[in-house]
């Protein structure tokens, strides 16, 4: 059970440590951190958002030379006169609450709640009295305004606490006079400063008194880990009340005057173009319609492939849908009109060897053997004995990973200025790209970041914001632009189709070598990964995007077990923007790890060891081993199960953490053939046990939520969640077609165990469980049916269990039978078992 929302921290007896840096620094034995006291009407403090090492007072940062490429000299000169411009700031308000504007996206992962906890911990105030909002695009923060790679908690952990500690120190100093006590004797709790004599003064009365009239540097110390009272306790989301009452404001709920609904008529094939609109006047005259305009939908301004579409602005979104469908458009060809799943698979198999591994020998290809590098040994190696080899290819089809809230943006581009609202994970890049397509400077573009309705990597791209900005500029009016769900499926960023080829060699009970080569349709990392400089460099003429993708692969791919000599490789087909791809939740590991773990189970079976014991013997990381042991014990590994029901287990290390997942999958007919109208039922994950170690867990309740979400996504990845590519477009046109995990697929039993702190720093969690859960479910399914699946999701090639929606007109019309059809959807057919 979650604890109560409010915590009552015991008072901290930490001595006040704030000192002006001009003063003599005392107490050198503890780490001291640098920040700024900022001139403001109430108390405001700031720190640089940067690696915590350089926050230390003894090591001040110097400007990075490469910065000039994205942040020009005039900006630098301007900001050099404002030394505090690139700070993240905490403000104590007159009512005693604390405000913090975080340069991150909040899309459900809980970073605002985490930030509030860090501040509450350090200052001695209730978590609920800390108000965390999302910062607009702040180009002066350079690379420090991206929400990706499960890195948010890792990156803010120290800076936010430093700012809070500075603020607390200032409040205590101001209180000392009022309370007539030495600052060293004072403590803070519940938003008050308390003296040893028992008198107290609330932050509200100190906010103005503690204010600074001039901005200056200051140093502080942090609360020791062993005194934490908030960090590590379960806290509910900061917006849970707003979310369950409908008061939470997403982008489309914002009151921006005159920003009327706008939708887009997209081409029938991926990245197609408009040749002509043949009934423009007629559609402009339809009810509610105010504007119809052709726009470029080029997502990579300045290079890459081009595409275009027609936008409709109207009084209601319903009238947009009708007008979009009424448009008579002559479409030009798309970018991949001749491609289907089968042609892509052929090209993936024929792809050249990765640059970081030698080319495959002709023997491999001639014999129909996988083109891998290590020799498929059949004889005996020196000192090893007879060697056997297992070769296997795994295929992973396209995935959508769309969020519930579609791509959304409000844009007001008038009078030489652009104001944008969009839940971007990379607002600085969004701002820069919008400036580029509008012919403005970034300074003319403001990007606000409302809370998002899910992100999962999709909002690392600015596609919808560019759409909205272009429409608004063209018609000179504000627009409220939303992608239809059909656009999400067909024009949205996809996780690319890929294959993973594995060759494992073993001798007796020893694994001799393990080679895994991953080959993928190119992933577009240009907007998201690395930093902005890398992103810009990748777009330079003659730049090799493969390097970027390979770098990402090598940074994330790992084998957590001792499997002898290990060789990993990654290569891609196509240019980075042939398809609209992106870095969805857990990147390559949602495919790479399942392939690997299925082979680990094969090795265990061939060697004759229990899958759990095999892993426990070979897992290299101690924290990972502890997670495995925990799920073994808590999940009752090896318990008696009926025929057709089996367990699977994996462990995974990433984002400075470890996670072990044990699942049970029921493939018996009575389960797999359950009849729920229009549902993809099939085998069911009935029980899940997760043990997670993120070093120092900040909010166990939020951490568990991330694990649970990762498991649900992994279930879809194994059984049902995919896009079918046919002749240049995807067949899926909505939810129900794209079959993410639903209530009828969700495990009735799920237990997440947060391991005790194994370090003094937090790791990332948002993506940690996805690849691991996918792998565990795949392994359990393989054991339950006695046959290893090699194509994912397993239902992908079996059938297309839905009526394919037309691409012309582009949007499925809304039904009219909603008063009689509930709870059965209008188009519900019989249930589908992807394993049948």
Partner 1 sequence: MPPHTFKVNGRPVTVEVEDDVRLLWVLRDLLKINGPKYGCGINVCKACTSHINGRAFNPCSVPVGQIRPTDEITTIEGLPDTVGADLHPMQEAWIDRDVPQCGYCQPGQIMAAVDLVKKVQAEGGSVTDDDIDEIRNMCACGTYARIREAIKQGAENM
Among the residue ranges 498-506, 615-623, 791-799, 823-831, the one whose residues contact partner 1 (CB under 8 A): 823-831
Site for partner 1 in 328-387 (CB under 8 A): none
Least separation in angstroms between residue 747's CB and partner 1 is 7
Site for partner 1 in 101-140 (CB under 8 A): 107-110
Least separation in angstroms between residue 404's CB and partner 1 is 4
Q: Return d(Cα 684, Cα 719) in angstroms, integer.
A: 9
CB closer to partner 1 out of 676 and 785: 676
Among the residue ranges 518-526, 610-618, 639-647, 739-747, the one whose residues contact partner 1 (CB under 8 A): 739-747
Residue 246 in contact with partner 1, rule: CB under 8 A: yes
Least separation in angstroms between residue 777's CB and partner 1 is 13
Among the residue ranges 316-324, 376-384, 531-539, 596-604, the one whose residues contact partner 1 (CB under 8 A): 316-324
Letters for 752-791 (x = contact with partner 1 by CB under 8 A, - = none) are: ----------------------------------------
Question: How many CB atoms neighbour CB 250 within 10 A?
Answer: 15
Binding partner 1 (rule: CB under 8 A), the pick from 708, 718, 719, 774 is: 708
Among the residue ranges 16-24, 445-453, 563-571, 793-801, the one whose residues contact partner 1 (CB under 8 A): 445-453
Q: From the DSSP assignment, how many helices (H) and strands (E) are in the chain?
A: 20, 32
Among the residue ranges 198-206, 218-226, 344-352, 728-736, the one whose residues contact partner 1 (CB under 8 A): 728-736
Residue 456 in contact with partner 1, rule: CB under 8 A: yes
Residue 403 in contact with partner 1, rule: CB under 8 A: yes
In this structure, is the dihedral angle defined by the CA atoms of residues 50, 54, 56 and 57, taken in order, positive or negative? negative
Residue 809 in contact with partner 1, rule: CB under 8 A: no
Least separation in angstroms between residue 181's CB and partner 1 is 39
Q: Which burial class, exposed, middle or buried, applies to 563 when counting CB atoms under 10 A from its CB (0-12, 13-18, 19+)?
A: buried
Residue 682 in contact with partner 1, rule: CB under 8 A: no
Which of 713, 399, 344 lies closest to 581 in space, CA to CA? 399
Binding partner 1 (rule: CB under 8 A), the pick from 122, 126, 239, 412 is: 239
Letters for 160-179 (x = contact with partner 1 by CB under 8 A, - = none) are: --------------------
Site for partner 1 in 251-270 (CB under 8 A): 252-253, 255, 261
| SS3 letters across 740-784 | CCCCCCCCCEEEEEECCCCCCCECCCCCHHHHHHHHHHHHHHHHH
Among the residue ranges 203-211, 383-391, 566-574, 812-820, the one whose residues contact partner 1 (CB under 8 A): 812-820
Q: Which burial class, exposed, middle or buried, applies to 609 when counting CB atoms under 10 A from its CB (0-12, 13-18, 19+)?
A: middle
102 beta partners: 134
Residue whose token pair is 């290079």: 303
Residue 817 in contact with partner 1, rule: CB under 8 A: yes
Say if CB 212 and CB 37 are below 8 A apart. Answer: yes
Residue partners of 384: CB distance under 8 A and separation at least 6: 507, 510, 512
CB closer to partner 1 out of 479 and 624: 479
Binding partner 1 (rule: CB under 8 A), the pick from 701, 785, 788, 800 is: 701
Binding partner 1 (rule: CB under 8 A), the pick from 750, 779, 780, 831 is: 750
Residue 747 in contact with partner 1, rule: CB under 8 A: yes
CB closer to partner 1 out of 639 and 743: 743
Among the residue ranges 136-144, 477-485, 623-631, 657-665, the one whose residues contact partner 1 (CB under 8 A): 477-485
Residue 586 in contact with partner 1, rule: CB under 8 A: no
Say if CB 483 and CB 406 are below 8 A apart. Answer: yes
Least separation in angstroms between residue 237's CB and partner 1 is 6
Binding partner 1 (rule: CB under 8 A), the pick from 746, 785, 788, 800 is: 746
Query: Going by DSSP bridges, is the β-strand pair 33-37/216-220 parallel, antiparallel, or unpaired?
Result: antiparallel
Tokens of 674: 């359950």
Tell me what percent of the chain is helix, strand and coil, each rounded to the nearest 5. Answer: 30, 25, 45
Question: Coil, helix or strand for 712?
Answer: helix
Q: Return d(Cα 626, Cα 653) in angstroms, integer.
A: 12
Answer whether the bond into residue 455 is a cis peptide, omega within 30°. no
Which of 12, 18, 249, 235 lies closest to 130 in space, CA to CA? 235
């Amino acid at each position: 059970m979650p604890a109560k929302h409010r915590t009552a921290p015991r008072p901290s007896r930490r001595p006040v440590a704030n000192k002006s840096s001009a003063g003599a620094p005392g107490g050198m034995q503890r780490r001291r951190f640098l920040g700024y006291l900022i001139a403001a009407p109430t108390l405001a403090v700031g720190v640089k958002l940067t690696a915590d090492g350089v926050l230390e007072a003894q090591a001040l940062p110097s400007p990075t030379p490469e910065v000039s490429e994205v942040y020009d000299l005039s900006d630098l000169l301007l900001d050099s006169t404002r030394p505090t411009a690139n700070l993240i700031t905490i403000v104590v308000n007159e009512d005693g609450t604390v405000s913090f504007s975080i340069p991150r996206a909040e899309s459900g992962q809980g970073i605002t709640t985490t930030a509030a906890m860090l501040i509450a911990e350090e200052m001695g105030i209730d978590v609920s009295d800390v108000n965390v909002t999302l910062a607009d695009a702040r180009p002066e923060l350079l690379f420090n305004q991206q929400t990706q790679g499960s890195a948010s908690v890792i990156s803010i952990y120290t800076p936010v606490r430093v700012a809070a500690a500075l603020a607390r120190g200032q409040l205590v100093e101001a209180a000392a006079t009022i309370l007539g006590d030495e600052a060293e004797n004072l403590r803070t709790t519940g938003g008050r400063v308390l003296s040893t004599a028992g008198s107290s003064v609330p932050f509200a009365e100190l906010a103005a008194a503690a204010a600074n009239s001039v901005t200056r540097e200051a140093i502080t110390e942090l609360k020791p880990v062993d005194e934490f009272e908030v960090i590590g306790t379960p806290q509910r989301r900061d917006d849970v009340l707003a979310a369950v009452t409908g008061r939470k404001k997403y982008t489309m709920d914002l009151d921006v005057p005159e920003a009327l609904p706008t939708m887009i008529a997209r081409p029938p094939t991926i990245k197609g173009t408009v040749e002509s609109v043949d009934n423009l006047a007629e559609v402009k005259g339809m009810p509610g319609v105010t504007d119809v305009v052709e726009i470029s939908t080029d997502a990579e301004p300045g290079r890459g492939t081009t595409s275009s579409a027609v936008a409709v602005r109207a009084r209601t979104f319903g009238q947009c849908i009708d007008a979009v469908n009424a448009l008579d458009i002559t479409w030009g060809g798309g970018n991949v009109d001749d491609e289907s799943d089968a042609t892509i698979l052929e090209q993936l198999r024929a792809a050249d060897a990765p640059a970081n591994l030698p080319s495959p020998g002709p023997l491999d290809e001639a014999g129909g053997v996988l083109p891998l590098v290590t020799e498929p040994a059949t004889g005996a190696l020196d000192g090893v004995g007879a060697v056997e080899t297992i070769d296997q290819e795994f295929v992973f089809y396209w995935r959508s990973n769309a969020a519930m809230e579609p791509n959304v943006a409000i844009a007001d581009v008038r009078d030489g200025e652009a104001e944008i609202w969009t839940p971007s994970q990379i607002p600085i890049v969004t701002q820069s790209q919008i400036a580029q397509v509008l012919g403005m400077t970034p300074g003319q573009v403001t990007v606000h970041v409302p809370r998002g309705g899910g992100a999962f990597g999709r909002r690392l791209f600015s596609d919808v914001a560019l759409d909205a900005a272009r429409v608004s500029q063209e018609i000179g009016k504000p627009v409220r632009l939303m992608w239809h769900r059909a656009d999400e499926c067909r024009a949205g960023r996809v996780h690319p189709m890929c294959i993973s080829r594995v060759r494992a060699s073993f001798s007796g009970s020893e694994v001799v070598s393990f080679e895994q080569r991953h080959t993928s349709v190119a992933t577009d990392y240009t907007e998201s990964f690395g930093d902005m400089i890398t992103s810009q460099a990748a777009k330079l003429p003659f730049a090799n995007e493969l390097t970027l993708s390979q770098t990402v692969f090598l940074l994330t791919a790992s084998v957590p077990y001792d499997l002898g000599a290990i060789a990993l490789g990654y290569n891609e087909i196509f240019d980075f923007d042939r398809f609209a791809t992106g870095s969805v939740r857990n990147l390559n590991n949602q495919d790479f790890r399942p392939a690997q773990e299925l082979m680990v189970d094969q090795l265990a079976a061939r060697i004759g060891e229990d899958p759990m014991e095999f892993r426990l013997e070979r897992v290299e990381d101690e924290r990972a081993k502890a997670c495995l042991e925990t799920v073994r014990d808590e999940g009752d590994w090896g318990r008696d199960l009926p025929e057709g029901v089996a367990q699977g287990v994996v462990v995974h290390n990433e984002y400075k953490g470890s996670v072990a997942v044990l699942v049970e999958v029921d493939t018996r007919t009575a389960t797999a053939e359950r009849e729920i109208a229009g549902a993809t039922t099939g085998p069911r994950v009935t029980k899940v046990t997760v043990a997670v170690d993120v070093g120092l867990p900040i909010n166990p309740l939020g951490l568990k939520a991330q694990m649970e979400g990762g498991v649900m996504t992994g279930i879809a990845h194994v059984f049902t969640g995919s896009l079918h590519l046919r002749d240049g477009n995807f067949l899926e046109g909505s939810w129900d077609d794209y079959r993410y995990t639903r209530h009828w697929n969700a495990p009735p039993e799920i237990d997440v165990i947060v391991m005790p702190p194994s370090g003094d720093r937090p790791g990332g969690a948002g993506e940690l469980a996805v690849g691991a859960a996918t792998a565990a479910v795949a392994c359990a399914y393989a054991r339950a049916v006695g046959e290893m699946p090699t194509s994912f999701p397993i239902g992908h090639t079996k059938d297309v269990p839905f009526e394919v929606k037309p691409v012309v007109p582009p949007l499925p019309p809304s039904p009219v039978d909603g008063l009689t059809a509930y709870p059965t959807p209008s188009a519900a057919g019989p249930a589908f078992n992807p394993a049948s």
